[in-house]
Chain A
Amino acid sequence: MNRLASAKPWLLSGPALLLFLVFLLIPLVMTFLLSFNSFSFYGGIEESYGLGNYIEILSDSYFYEIFLRTFLIALGTTILCVLLGVPEAYILLRMRPFARSLMLLVVLGPLLISVVVRTLGWSILLGNKGVINEFLIRLDLISSPVKMLYTSGGIVVALVHVMIPFMIIAVWAALQRRDASAEQAAESLGASPVKVFTRIVLPQAMPGILSGSLIVFSLSASAFATPAILGGRRIKVISTTVYDEFLNTLNWPLGAAIAVLLLVSVLVIMLSWNRLVEKRYSGVFE
């Protein structure tokens, strides 16, 4: 009886654990092991273990550039998502119920459409012969097209579009718990609307902003479809580099090593961010 009771939690979480093991842990471990193998153009993957791949990556400025670009794109995306998502979430919360559910659908709508479709849409907009450039040229505002496709900026814009729902949901969840009459209280104490937002609403949204940033940053750093379509061969990020190593060069071990480095660096950034957040906000909110 007692034995059964203590086994219960394990039995109940068994299916999830199995899924976790088969679909996450095993591929991860295999990728990790693969990253230590070596590769030659004629012999393919060799069953030897060494740090050769890591040394190759860490001593090549080409890879540094790719890593830096990836994290700058992720950072830019995160910052833009905060700047746009926080006011948007607050405005949504203050709408009347009917308008709110309608607008929420609009905001979350992008999540219902495939990333590839959305990104192809952006490439139609951003291209040299794209809608935006054509429009600006028609209006005689510019004489030659502005380069937007195949730039980091273009990737950031499209990523923001993909990621902003996550930020809005996170901030929404944080703000929904708040007592809205605190804003009235602040107003009655003489705060202007700007002061109410910066001093009362924003601090209460902070836990949501921080967890939303975590999600957006890590998803952007490892995003594939958007940079692949909008960056092409020219603007490479880590995930597209891994893809190329696996499918074009067929150097799987090197690709695996890059993937492991991406995982580790995102993990380190996330954990230190989380530490910071917990230190700052423990004991303030219920």
Chain B
Amino acid sequence: MSFLEIKALTKRFFDMTAVDDFSLSVERGEFVSLLGPSGCGKTTTLQMIAGFEDPSSGSIILNGRNLSKVPARKRGLGIVFQTYALFPHMTVEQNVAFGLEMRGISGDDRRQKIANALDLVKLSHLAKRFPKAMSGGQRQRVALARALVIEPELLLLDEPLSNLDAKLREEMQLELRRIQQDAGVTTLLVTHDQSEAMALSDRIAVMQNGRLMQIGTPFDTYESPKSSFISNFLGKSNCLDARLISTGDDGAKLDVNGIQITGPAVNLLPGKVLISLRPERIDIVDSAEGVLPARVLERIFLGDQWLFRLETTIGNLLVVRRNRGRREAEPGETVHIAWLPEHLRILPQSQENVA
């Protein structure tokens, strides 16, 4: 049995289902992200684990202990809220001490634990400050220290980085990962930022409309999305309607807008399908090696990359090319593109119908 077992968790608000038959198991020490668009039920899921919302049905078992009858204050979880929820009338030190105080830990033991926690988040020099005199990133680290100091079995993070600017967010991502690994605490992170989820997690659980759609390592989820929703949500993707003609050991044959292309073998019946192709897997090549001719509609310079929008006979495609400091095709120019058939993902037509 896994460290954290969530079984068929469901939450209904009146007539709407916020979380629907959600099951997930997390191993000890693992970092799992709940990723999904706004309103898909991530916070609700986290609130049920934390004990602030009662599930309509389903169960949550942490380290063999069924949490359904346990009130929030007895669950012993560390929670970092989106707004940090620091106690404004207490100094950093007092904020961190609060959880220890509630556990009746006092004296040297308490001082030692506070010092360690502040050390971990590198805030020892600000121990006597009040939260209002701190930056967003510092507040976030106080919230983290306050959650970690009680040595929780499970750390819950609800979009802890969403209030920070892009640069600080990147720094804090690395910091968060370091802290989590140093403390070795099992962590569940809620986010709608796919790059954050990929940078931090051991596994990503993608949610849509209250349901768990796919769970796997960031690499697997990115490489083999189970639906066009996921392939579009995790990074950019070119999704095209296609017809599967046949599939066998030698790969699949597809018809896209009258053009015959090949792809990897799939476990689907011939008929309407979706194909997805990552922009960075399409190459702009010499005409001799090209699969298709294409006309450049637009190109955008992104610093380390060029983003092209191309018009082809199978539809418009996004293509990303690393900036090598060379001349690149300009809008209006005709180029040739190529990709490897195994980089094509063939998905069932209906998004709900995840095999």
Q: Are A186 and B98 in contact (CB under 8 A)?
A: yes
Residues from chain B with a CB closer than 8 A to the CB of A136 are none
Contact B79 A188 (CB under 8 A): yes
B75 CB within 8 Å of chain A: yes
Between A and B, 13 residue pairs with Cβ closer than 8 Å are: A178-B88, A182-B86, A184-B52, A185-B86, A186-B87, A189-B102, A190-B99, A190-B103, A191-B98, A191-B102, A206-B89, A284-B88, A286-B88
Q: Give CA–CA (A188, B88) in the complex, Å.
A: 17
A179 at the interface (CB under 8 A from B): yes
Given A188-B73, A190-B76, A285-B132: A181 and B83 interface contact (C-beta under 8 Å)? yes
The smallest C-beta distance from B89 to any residue of chain A, in angstroms, reads: 4
What sequence of 0s and 1s flags, for each residue 208-232 of chain B, a beta carbon within 8 Å of any chain A beta carbon? Answer: 0000000000000000000000000
Q: What are the 5 A-B residue pairs with the smallest beta carbon separation, nearest first? A: A189-B99, A190-B102, A181-B85, A185-B85, A203-B89
User: With A and B bound together, what is the CA distance between A119 and B143 in angstroms?
Assistant: 51
Is B77 part of the contact surface with A, judged by Cβ < 8 Å? yes
B72/A188 in contact, CB under 8 A: yes
B76 touches A181 (CB 8 A): no
The answer on a CB contact under 8 Å between A286 and B132 is: yes
Q: Is B22 an interface residue (CB 8 A)?
A: no
Q: Is A204 an interface residue (CB 8 A)?
A: yes
Interface status of A43 (Cβ within 8 A of chain B): no
Residues from 76 to 104 in B contacting A, C-beta threshold 8 Å = 76-79, 81-83, 85-89, 98-99, 102-103
Q: Which residues of B contact A192 (CB under 8 A)?
A: 73
In-complex Cβ contact of B72 among A184, A200, A284 (8 A): A184
With both beta carbons as reference points, the residue of chain B lying nearest to A199 in the complex is identified as B98
Residues of B near A190 (CB, < 8 A) are 73-74, 76, 99, 102-103, 150
Residue of B nearest to A180 (CB): B85
By the criterion CB–CB under 8 Å, are B89 and A284 in contact? yes
Given A190-B76, A192-B73, A284-B130, decide whether A184 and B85 contact each other with a Cβ distance below 8 A.
yes
Proximity bits, A186-225, B CB within 8 Å = 1, else 0: 1111111001000110011010000000000000000000
Overall SS of chain B's interface: loop
Q: Please give, as numbers and ranges, the residues of chain B lying within 8 Å of A195 by CB-CB distance.
A: 102
Q: Which residues of chain B have C-beta atoms less than 8 A from A184's C-beta?
A: 50, 52, 72, 79, 81, 85
Interface size on A, residues (CB 8 A): 23
CB A71 to nearest CB in B, in angstroms, measures 30
B113 is an interface residue with CB less than 8 A from chain A: no
Segment 138-154 of B: residues with Cβ below 8 Å from A: 143, 146, 150
Instruction: Give every chain B residue within 8 A of A191 (Cβ-Cβ).
Output: 73, 98, 102
Contacts of B74 in A (CB 8 A): 190
When distances are taken between beta carbons in the complex, the residues of chain A under 8 Å from B143 are 185
**Nearest CB of B to A82, in Å:** 18
20 more CB-based (< 8 A) A-B contacts, given A190-B103, A191-B73, A192-B73: A179-B83, A181-B82, A182-B87, A184-B52, A184-B79, A185-B79, A185-B86, A185-B87, A187-B73, A188-B51, A188-B75, A188-B77, A189-B99, A189-B102, A189-B150, A190-B99, A190-B150, A285-B88, A285-B132, A286-B132
User: Given the complex, which residues of A lie within 8 Å of B79, measured CB to CB?
Assistant: 184-185, 188
- With both chains docked as a complex, state the minimum distance between the C-beta of A185 and any C-beta of chain B, in angstroms: 4
How far apart sit A260 and B50, CA to CA, in the bound complex (Å)?
Answer: 60
Chain B hits for A286, CB < 8 A: 88, 132
Specify which chain A residues have a CB less than 8 angstroms from the CB of B83 in the assembled complex.
Answer: 179, 181
Alpha-carbon distance A179/B86, docked complex (angstroms): 8
| A283 located at the interface, meaning its Cβ lies under 8 Å from any Cβ of chain B in the complex | yes
A182 CB contacts on chain B under 8 angstroms = 85-88
Contacts of A204 in B (CB 8 A): 88-89
Interface string of A250-286 (1 = CB under 8 A from B): 0000000000000000000000000000000001111
Q: How far is the CA of A186 from the CA of B81 in the complex (A)?
A: 12
A199–B74 CA distance with the chains assembled, in angstroms: 18
Interfacial residues of chain A within 143-185, with CB under 8 A of chain B in the complex: 178-179, 181-182, 184-185
CB proximity of A195 to chain B, nearest CB, Å: 7
Interface mask (B59-83 → A, CB under 8 Å = 1, otherwise 0): 0000000000000111111110111
